[in-house]
Amino acid sequence: MFSVPAIPTDRLPELLRRMPKAELHMHIEGSLEPELIFALGQRNHISLPYASVEDLRQAYAFTNLQSFLDIYYAGASVLIHEQDFYDMAWAYLRKAAAENVLRTEMFFDPQTHTARGVSMETVIKGLHRACVDAQAQLGVSAALILCFLRHLSEEEAFETLEQALPFRDYFIGVGLDSSELGHPPEKFAKVFERCRNLGLHLVAHAGEEGPPAYVWSALDVLKVERIDHGVQSSKDPALMQRLAKDRIALTVCPLSNQKLCVFPNLGDHNLGALLDAGLMATVNSDDPAYFGGYMNANFVQTFAATGLNAAHAYALARNSFEASFIDAAAKRAFADRVDAVFESVASGV
């Protein structure tokens, strides 16, 4: 059993940046930086309701999830061609590689694009090609998770699944995102059952703004393997016990929670409480171009604001690989790389 070496607080930021990590909750459309939105808008002759990059960035003052989603869907309107999807994913994957993200399971929202007349094939092929190049050129293991938009109907989710099945080998699972309140997980019970029978991995956003009841139904009705966000679970002690007992991972996104006013003050975030209660929490960036930071900004700012320590960092790094959808041998290999970096930072190397 590896014992976490003592690492002084002033070396925590270095440790957090250097430690190998997996990202399990990142919407690829949320990695579109304002500069790329404008560049793609010009390339595709799509005009935006913002005068400049600065003007767009100014609009990133969110009060809740919906106020963000309205701008996020508008930003994605510049994506038309397969190369656009490739360029977006490649820009993110290069940043991930630079931040020691060795594995990433990226969400994409096909309905945001098919509703505008962009084909499923265009979306998936562009994203998939970037994943293949990431492994070959960056050494980053990358996979895709198709998300259904929960503000739309289950029937539309079924249609989306049918459109995606010719590309079944290009995505590893399905998720559920968009407006949470009023759209409980059980609305998608049948389509998740079908996905489970197809052997797809299952995840769902639950307990970001929604109540613990949504986390329960994501587990018991949808039978998901991970909960995206899940931070509202701390309001329900029985749910906390269930999550700990079944080692259900929560893909927590601290800067997202701060920017969408779930925890307006980062210092009040419950990440430490979730870890200390024995839950398999992880840290993720959600929509990094909109929320002020990629993985390492999430780690460094959250640790500084909440006073987490090297043992928390170790748990988060190990949890991220343990909760990922890679095989047991790959998990062991990544865990060894985590241990090696903790040892070398502790010894001052």
Q: Which of 104, 178, 233, 285 binds ligand HPA (CB under 6 A)?
A: 178
* Token output for 23: 């990202």
Q: Minimal distance in Å, beta carbon 179 to ligand HPA?
A: 7
* Token output for 265: 């003050």
Q: Minimal distance in Å, beta carbon 26 to Zn ion?
A: 8
Number of residues counted as binding ligand HPA (CB under 6 A) = 11
- H helix intervals, 165-197: 189-197
User: Cβ closer to Zn ion: 109 or 286?
Assistant: 286
Exactly one of 23, 29, 82, 208 is catalytic; name it.
Answer: 208
Q: Minimal distance in Å, beta carbon 253 to ligand HPA?
A: 7
**Is 65 a residue that touches ligand HPA (CB under 6 A)?**
yes
Q: Which of 82, 84, 105, 208 binds ligand HPA (CB under 6 A)?
A: 208
Contact mark string toward ligand HPA, 69..108, x via CB under 6 A: ---x------------------------------------
Q: Minimal distance in Å, beta carbon 175 to Zn ion?
A: 8
Q: Measure the CA–CA gap between 274 and 265, rounded to whole angstroms.
A: 17
**Is 23 a residue that touches ligand HPA (CB under 6 A)?**
no
Q: Say which residues have a Cβ less than 8 Å from residue 307's Cβ, sequence separation at least 6.
A: 272
Contact mark string toward ligand HPA, 111..150, x via CB under 6 A: ----------------------------------------
Residue type, 33: E
User: Cβ closer to ligand HPA: 87 or 287?
Assistant: 287
User: Cβ closer to ligand HPA: 231 or 279?
Assistant: 231
Positions that interact with Zn ion (CB under 5 A): 286
What residues does 174 pair with on adjacent strands?
146, 202
E strand segments, 158-278: 173-177, 201-206, 226-229, 249-252
Side-chain-side CA neighbours of 45 within 13 Å: the count stands at 0
**Is 177 a residue that touches ligand HPA (CB under 6 A)?**
yes
Q: Which of 287, 316, 318, 319 binds ligand HPA (CB under 6 A)?
A: 287
**Is 286 a residue that touches ligand HPA (CB under 6 A)?**
yes
Q: Minimal distance in Å, beta carbon 217 to ligand HPA?
A: 16
User: Cβ closer to ligand HPA: 157 or 326?
Assistant: 157
| Residues 30-49 within binding reach of ligand HPA (CB under 6 A) | 30
Q: Measure the CA–CA gap between 132 and 47, rounded to whole angstroms.
A: 32
| Sign of the C-alpha dihedral computed for residues 312, 262, 109 and 149 taken in this order | positive
Yes or no: say if 284 and 22 are a contact pair by the CB < 8 Å rule: no
What residues does 227 pair with on adjacent strands?
204, 250
Catalytic site residue 208? yes
| DSSP annotation of 135 | I
Q: What length does the chain have? A: 349
> Residue written as tokens 């613990």?
212
Q: Measure the CA–CA gap between 118 and 91, rounded to whole angstroms.
A: 21
Q: Minimal distance in Å, beta carbon 133 to ligand HPA?
A: 24
Yes or no: say if 100 and 17 are a contact pair by the CB < 8 Å rule: yes
Q: Minimal distance in Å, beta carbon 230 to ligand HPA?
A: 12
User: Cβ closer to ligand HPA: 289 or 310?
Assistant: 289
E strand segments, 74-157: 101-108, 141-149
Q: Which does 258 bind (CB under 5 to 8 A by kind): Zn ion, ligand HPA, none?
A: none
Report which of 315, 292, 294, 313 is spatially closest to residue 304, judged by C-alpha positions: 313
Q: Say which residues have a Cβ less than 8 Å from residue 340's Cβ, sequence separation at least 6.
A: none
Active site residue ranges: 208
Binding site for ligand HPA (CB under 6 A): 27, 30, 65, 72, 177-178, 205, 208, 256, 286-287
